[in-house]
Amino acid sequence: MTVKGTSIDTYAPSGNTATTRTFTGQAEVNGVSGYSFTVTATDNGEPESGNDYFSITLTGPGFNYQSGNLLGGGNIELHR
């Protein structure tokens, strides 16, 4: 599955922490438009690997996909 975000409609802090952001928008899945996404990213500080969290939900005509987990590598850094 190939997902391409085509717009970002909202971006805001979420939950009870300043280290989590949720953003939503429109997307194409495998080159087909008509889908929407919600992404949540959490910066849980250092060390980088294994602390930060990323999740994505995709919805569209007859389609619903959700996945999320701690990052196996890399580092989420959220900015205002």
Give the tokens for residue 19: 């280290």
Q: How far apart are CA 53 and CA 37, in angstroms?
A: 17
* Residue written as token pair 């389609």: 63
Q: Which pLDDT tens digit goes with each residue over 20-76?
A: 999 999 999 999 999 999 999 998 877 666 789 999 999 999 899 999 999 888 888
Q: How far apart are CA 4 and CA 64, in angstroms?
A: 16
Going from N- to C-terminal start, the domains of the chain cover 3-70
pTM of structure: 0.84
